Chain A
Amino acid sequence: MKKSLIFVVTIAALAGCETLYTPPTEQETQAVIKAGFRDRGIAKVERLNQSELQQQCTKHGNNPPKDVRARLEKAALATVKYPADGNWLGDFKLGERIAQTGAGLQWTDSPQSVAGGNCYACHQLSKAEISYGNIGPTLYNYGKLRGSGEGVARYTWAKIWNTNSFNACSSMPRFGDAGVLTEEQIRHLMALLLDPNSPVNK
């Protein structure tokens, strides 16, 4: 009798405190998130439908296990389109402009507006520009330190096109793969990084 009374009291106490809390499922959470956004201009709600890469990077806190990492990097590298004419380098002056520009793909941008790379937001590039971020490594003297061989050019192109090719779940956008920059724009950025006359290599 006494025992069962204690039992009932214990149950009541448990019910009264937080033990009954059940966290929302991932599906419920995603539904609340999607309901909280709307299409505006070019920025549609479908942008919240995560790709395989985005799902895996979110799930693993940007540090996926070895097998998943290998799979993601292989898939990323397969997306890279190298320049058909074998011409790697454009005009570094135009590259500098692209590196300085942050517009593109926001709900305030028109579908016709040309996107920039906004490289300075995260990287140091030329010495003259001191307003640079530090989310990515410094790229000052990028070409000077690495040379301008075919291997370096190929690696750099792939890195800009789809950064996950060598570092799955990197913080950097997929500038070629996501259609942010055109092949021509990437060529100009390549020149900014690799041309010996570029301010990056001075």
Chain B
Amino acid sequence: MRAAIASAALAATVAGAALAQDNTIIQIERYRQMLQEGNPAELLVVRGEGLWQEKRGPKNVSLAACDLGLGAGVVKGAYIQMPRYFADADQVMDFETRLVHCMVSLQGFKREELTKTPYSGAGQRQTDIESLTAFVVEQSRGAKIAVPQEHPQEKASFDRGRYLFYMRAGPYDFACSTCHGVDNQRIRLQDLPNFEKPEPAQRAFATWPAYRVSQGALRTMQWRLWDCFRQMRWPEPIFASQATVDLTTYLGVRAAGGKMDSPSIKR
């Protein structure tokens, strides 16, 4: 009898704690909705558009001749069909990799210079890569994610990306799938999308790049992967490396059909 009362009391306290947590989650959701009303990324979209059209670099040309997979200079709907295979580079590239390729081959920028600091630091001005990304991704808003899987190299990119997604390594034995391969998992109160399922995969892929309020900056897909690997206690992923492109190919194919809604705004 006493045990029964004790366990009933215990059940009540656990339920109370769960209720407090539910309330917190509701409040966080309300905060997220409030954020949607004004997204500072809009300013970056404008800045990025200016950078795209401006004659820049040692060769003093604009990016009008940059082919993102739909023909020279076509930006509308370009983001949702990347990563893809590019014959001129004979490799699968994600948007950021392709952008660097264009800035180097067309405008004459130095690759090492561009990729040394691709992400802006706290309180710093956003990098050109970040601004250009904001502009180009905005031109795919509302379009359906359609990362191609036709060329053998696109399939190889997907297969390597899948392998990387499930690979356990580092001192903590973490894989991407540790957090992103199961339904309804959370770190603290942060929901973790399960990339095994189309709906959460679509929602996650469609909302990156995102303006991160806590950092006061727009963050790209390359940054998203980079910061995950830091928390996984892996070594540092190299910006625009084939491995990072492959992982994005895997995630993008998983998210097929999702409606692009980026740049989004997140906590």
Interface residues of A (CB under 8 A from B): 18, 20-24, 26, 28-29, 32-33, 35-40, 43-45, 47-50, 53-54, 57-58, 61, 105-108, 120-122, 124, 127, 130-135, 138, 140-141, 144, 171, 173-174, 178-180
- Tell whether, in the assembled complex, residue B234 and residue A47 are in contact, meaning their CB atoms are under 8 Å apart: yes
Q: How far is the CA of A188 from the CA of B160 in the complex (A)?
A: 42
A-B contact pairs, 13 of them (CB 8 A): A33-B243, A35-B242, A37-B229, A37-B243, A40-B235, A47-B235, A48-B170, A58-B175, A106-B230, A130-B24, A133-B185, A138-B14, A173-B172
> Which stretch from B57-65, B186-194, B213-221 is at the chain A interface?
B186-194
Contacts of A179 in B (CB 8 A): 171
Residue total for B at the interface (Cβ-Cβ under 8 A): 50
B246 at the interface (CB under 8 A from A): yes
Contact of B188 among A45, A50, A120, A140 (CB under 8 A): A120
Please tell me if the beta carbons of B171 and A33 are within 8 angstroms of each other in the complex. Answer: no
B112 in the interface (beta carbon within 8 A): no
B114 within 8 Å of A (CB atoms): no
Determine which of B16, B159, B238 lies in contact with A23 in the assembled complex, contact meaning CB atoms within 8 Å: B159
Contact pattern, B 73-98, Cβ under 8 Å of A = 1, otherwise 0: 00000000000000000000000000
Ranked nearest first, the 10 interchain pairs of A and B with the lowest CB-CB distance are: A36-B243, A36-B241, A40-B236, A173-B172, A37-B235, A54-B168, A178-B171, A47-B170, A130-B21, A21-B152
CB nearest neighbor in A for B236: A40
State the CA gap A131–B174 with chains docked (Å).
22
Using A135-B186, A180-B171 as known contacts, list a sample of 13 further A-B pairs with CB atoms less than 8 Å apart, ordered by residue number in A.
Answer: A29-B163, A36-B244, A37-B243, A38-B236, A45-B235, A47-B169, A48-B170, A127-B17, A130-B20, A133-B186, A173-B171, A173-B172, A180-B172
- Complex-state Cα separation, A45 to B230, whole angstroms: 12
Is A122's CB under 8 angstroms from B187's CB? yes
Q: With A40-B236, A58-B166, A171-B178 known to touch, is A24 a contact of B159 (CB < 8 Å)?
A: yes
Which of B10, B16, B168: most chain A Cβ within 10 A?
A: B168
Give the complex CA separation of A20 and B20 in angstroms. Answer: 57
- The residues of A that contact B169 with a CB separation of less than 8 Å are 47-50, 54
Instruction: Tell me the complex Cα distance, A26–B163, Å.
Output: 8
Q: A36-B241, A106-B233, A171-B178 are in contact. Are A18 and B173 (CB under 8 A)?
A: no
